[in-house]
Amino acid sequence: MSKRVRHKDKISTTTDAGVFGLSPFTSLDSNGLPEGIQKPALPKTAKFKNVGPTGKGERLEIRREKSGRGGKTVTTIKGFPSHIGQKERTKLLKTLKCTLGTGGTWNTSIMELQGDRREDVFCWFKNAGFAPVLAGG
């Protein structure tokens, strides 16, 4: 059997808002504490300044796909020009993976990266001299 709680043991939450307050930190004293350092937000393109100019304005399609991958999301990039050889493509993928901190591979002529990284990939390729386009829905 459960124990019955008496009404005199309950604490009322509706009577005085000053007892509890809206925030549990209002009663804390912040005198003597250092001010928090606020860094200005950098635009997305500023994160990828070290990208070399590889592209010459070529259009790349960046899309997010899930079909046929067991529910995992993959970012695919296709439309690489033929003047970029296999050695350059491998180097490009390695640099992109290190910059974004994600895994990836080449599947024939399509670059695949793990996760939904469309915005970061878009900015990275834009700084590399390509003309990326977010394709799909």
Predicted local distance difference test score (pLDDT) of residue 82 = 84
The rounded distance, in Å, linking the Cα atoms of 60 and 122 is: 9
Q: Which residue has the higher pLDDT, 22 or 66?
A: 66
Range among 14-23, 51-60, 74-83 with highest mean pLDDT value: 74-83
**Cα–Cα dist 128/81, whole Å:** 14
Looking at the whole model, is its pTM more than 0.85? no
Which range among 24-28, 95-99, 128-132 shows the weakest confidence by mean pLDDT?
24-28
Task: Specify the fold of 52-134.
Answer: Translation Initiation Factor Eif1 (3.30.780)
pLDDT, average across residues 33-37: 74
